[in-house]
Amino acid sequence: MKAPVFDYHRARSVQDALAALADGNGDAKPMAGGCSLGPMLNLRLARPTRVVDLRHAPELRRVEETSDRLIIGALWTHAEIEDGAMPCATNGFLPSVAHGIAYRAVRNRGTIGGSVAHADPAADWISTLLTLDARLLIHAPDGERQASIDTFMLGGYSTELGDDELLTGIVLPKLSSRGRWAYHKICRKTGEFAKAIGAVLHDPERGLTRVVCGAIERTPILLEETSAALGRAGPQAAAAVLRDEIDRRLSDHDAVFRQMHHTAVDRALAELGSK
């Protein structure tokens, strides 16, 4: 289980990284924390001829605040988010989720951008960012664009990022002081990926009322009816329509799977109700 030979390029800027990727003709891979790429290299599941290390490009660690947005670079680690190394726009939502990812050794290296780009369906950030209706900043050789998290992830481990593109930042909404959230994940053991994720955000002032069900072996889903019921009549009303919506949206899964996901979201709603 040792990686095959590859070239290593330490990028000093986003431009440098983009150039190094373009130069690789589709055979180059960016590396952030290396938590997922490292094992894939060792298992020889990924065989890039060149690895482009992103950790030394300063733009990827920027923090930018506007009146209603916070933009953070893609290379912030889970541990830094957990520790509050940048301003928090989400009333503690991001640090709390970060704290629940794996264990500290993984959080010290793993990055929010790496996690989103990797698009593991069971990972925490994709469900969280979907709940926050965050947007993603993408740099391509021909310029920069923003993507909606809804459409960014095409499926498990698959995103709209091209081989020569980089995820450079996350655009987060600033929640109002009355914005509340709840996040419930079910895992077998500490540090394990989630079996089911329920995430809820309710910030009427910002027009954000979103209920998300994640860890469903594909892109996490926004539960529209449950979200609408939450906005209209609160967590209990949302819980009343949840079972039906889960059963319908996850009809390709068995009863045990649906039960587990129903519970995750139901508990997130209950936690929101008690906040």
Partner 1 sequence: MSHTGIGARVRRKEDARHLMGRGRFVGDIKMPGLRDVAFLRSTHAHARIRSVTKPAGAEGALYTVDDLAGLSPIVTRSTIPGYKESTHWPLASGKVRFVGEPVAMAVAANRAEAEDLCDAVLVDFDPLPVIASSEAGRAPDAPRIHEEWSDNLFLESGFDSEVEEVARTAPVKVTREYRTARQCMHPMEGKGVLAYWDYQASQLVVVTSTQVPHMIRTGLAECLGLDQARIRVMPPDVGGGFGYKCVLQPEEVLIAWLALTRKTPFRWVEDRREHLTAGANTRQHQYRITAYADERGRLLGLDAEVMVDTGAYSVWPFTACLEPSQIAGNLPGPYDFQAYRCKTYTVATNKPAFTPYRGVARPGVCFAMELTIDAIARAVGREPVDVRAENLVTADQMPFTNVTKKHFDSGDYPASLRRAREMIKMDEVRERQGAAEPDGRRIGLGFATYTEQSAHGTSVFSSWGLSVIPGFDQASVKITPDGGVEVRAGIHTIGQGLETTLAQIASEILTIPIDRITVTLGDTATTPYSTGAYASRGIVMSGGATSKAAQVVAGQVRRIAAHLMKCTPEEVELKDGRIFAGNRSITFADVGFAWYMRPDLLPAGVDSRGLEATEAYKPDVDSGVFSYATHAAVVAVDPKTGMVEILDYVIVEDCGRRVNPMIVEGQAYGGTAQGIGTALFEESPYDDLGQPLASTLLDYLLPGPTELPSIRMDHFETLSPYSAHGIKGVGEGGAIAPPAAIVNAINDALAPLGAELTQIPATPERILAAILAAKGQMEKSRETAA
**Edge-to-edge strand ranges of the sheet holding 208-214:** 180-186, 196-203, 208-214, 221-222
Q: Name which of 218, 220, 224, 211 is nearest 266 in CA terms.
A: 211
Give the three-state DSSP class for 132. Answer: helix
The percent helix, strand, coil of the chain (3-state, each to 5) is 40, 25, 35
CB contact at 8 A, 273 and 250: no
| Options 134-142, 156-164, 171-179, 191-199: segment touching partner 1 (CB under 8 A) | 191-199
From the list partner 1, ligand FAD, none, partner contacted by residue 189 (C-beta under 5 to 8 A by kind): partner 1
Is residue 114 within the footprint of ligand FAD (CB under 6 A)? yes
CB of 237 to ligand FAD, least distance (A): 30
Is residue 95 within the footprint of ligand FAD (CB under 6 A)? no
Member of 28, 35, 182, 215 binding ligand FAD (CB under 6 A): 35
Is residue 6 within the footprint of ligand FAD (CB under 6 A)? no
Torsion from C-alpha of 74, 79, 82, 84, nearest 10 degrees: -70
Residue with tokens 């914005």: 179
Largest CA distance in the chain: 58
Which residue in the shown chain puts its C-beta closest to ligand FAD?
114
**Which residue, 5 or 177, has its beta carbon nearer to partner 1?**
5
Member of 67, 142, 177, 189 binding partner 1 (CB under 8 A): 189
CB contact at 8 A, 130 and 216: no
Is residue 37 within the footprint of ligand FAD (CB under 6 A)? yes
- The strand pair at 166-173 and 180-186 is best described as unpaired
**Which of 83-90's residues contact partners 24+ apart within 8 Å by CB, and which partners?**
87/63, 89/65, 89/172, 89/173, 89/174, 89/175, 90/132, 90/172, 90/174, 90/175, 90/179, 90/181
From the list partner 1, ligand FAD, none, partner contacted by residue 24 (C-beta under 5 to 8 A by kind): none
CB of 25 to partner 1, least distance (A): 21
Is residue 268 within the footprint of ligand FAD (CB under 6 A)? no
Interface of this chain with ligand FAD, residues 228 to 247, rule: CB under 6 A = none
Member of 3, 19, 46, 241 binding partner 1 (CB under 8 A): 3
Binding site for ligand FAD (CB under 6 A): 29-37, 54, 74, 78, 101-102, 106, 109-111, 113-115, 117-118, 123-125, 161, 166-167, 191, 193
Binding site for partner 1 (CB under 8 A): 1-5, 39, 43-44, 186, 188-193, 195-196, 255-256, 259-260, 263, 266
